[in-house]
Structure 1
């Protein structure tokens, strides 16, 4: 029984140690245009580079500027890089890119970044406006994404503990049944007569 409990504690310890690694999901490494920068001309596409290959399922990118969302078509993925084409009618001005990408481990990654385009794809021009604040790590959307990554880890740990406890109950029950089925050590009549004669 002591050996089994030791194995239970060891398995729980491994699960707790592995939790930080499991929650270390893919991260956004860079963007083009870079966050809070000014480009001479609005590019035909914005790109996001992640630490690992993201999944196409659930990936969505919005590029909002003076005329609204100018994202054209669905985003495309090439290895670790996600491309989002822009409309040819996109004007100059301030832009905020909002992304939601499914990481390689199946968890969502979301956030925003911003930039300013002096010349739009439609040929229009604009002066530099006030910097558009990008989403900070403590913002609600980022906090929600981190929480959604943490919950599956805790459910996995809870599942491991439950399975081990069920195994402990089954093991103890089988030991008791084996003990009950083992013949007793009471003296048989022949043994009793021999002791009396002795």
Structure 2
């Protein structure tokens, strides 16, 4: 009986303790890099993550001076997500917004910006253009991501208390019946 209680307590501690399994994927780098100026607009943007994202729900939207400049769906190869840029995209300020699904099933979102002096269409950016950079948060969904570990901890604790109480009562009943039969 005590062995079972000890095993359940050990299992409960494993469930209740935070682990790296709750860590979400993070964006490690982008090409073009966030906040940089490139001489010529590249044909695509590349986002490199710490772990390979899942293909489900991947979205990358490239927005430039003439609106949306994304061309087709993003492709995933290992840890890299590549989004093609339309060949008619002009020079200027670009913002890239992304949402991918990390390998643990949680969404990873963010935004980065860059400036291209010359566009794919050969046009040059207007003088005095500025890049407005919004810092990319590794866990934009961070508040929601804590919900799962908190709920698991609460449920695990309630289950452990319930099982522990049951075993304690069962042990007392066994002691009573053992002492009653010994009379």
| TM-score bracket for this pair, using the shorter chain length | 0.7 to 0.9
Q: Does residue 1:40 correspond to 2:39, yes or no?
A: yes
Counterpart Cα distance in 2 of 1:13 and 1:165:
12
| Aligned partner (choices 145, 148, 159) of residue 163 of structure 1 | 159
Q: Does residue 1:118 correspond to 2:117, yes or no?
A: yes
Question: What is the aligned residue count?
Answer: 181
Counterpart Cα distance in 1 of 2:158 and 2:69:
50
The 3-state SS of whatever aligns with 1:123 is: coil
The 3-state SS of whatever aligns with 2:142 is: helix
TM-score, length-scaled by structure 1: 0.79
> How far does residue 47 in structure 1 lie from its aligned partner after superposition?
0.5
Unaligned runs of 5+ in 1: 187-198
Match of 2:79 in 1: 80
Which runs of structure 2 are paired with 1:58-77 in the superposition (5 Å)? 58-77=57-76
Counterpart Cα distance in 2 of 1:12 and 1:45:
48
Once the two structures are overlaid, the 10-residue window that deviates more, 123-132 or 82-91, is: 123-132
- C-alpha RMSD of matched pairs (Å): 2.5
Match of 1:93 in 2: 92
Larger % of helix: which?
1
Match of 1:55 in 2: 54
TM-score, length-scaled by structure 2: 0.85
Q: Does structure 1 conserve the Cα–Cα contact (< 8 Å) formed by 2:8 and 2:160? A: yes
Q: Does structure 1 conserve the Cα–Cα contact (< 8 Å) formed by 2:90 and 2:118? A: yes
Which runs of structure 2 are paired with 1:148-187 in the superposition (5 Å)? 148-182=144-178, 183-186=180-183
Larger Rg: 1
Counterpart Cα distance in 2 of 1:49 and 1:92:
24
Counterpart Cα distance in 2 of 1:51 and 1:136:
15
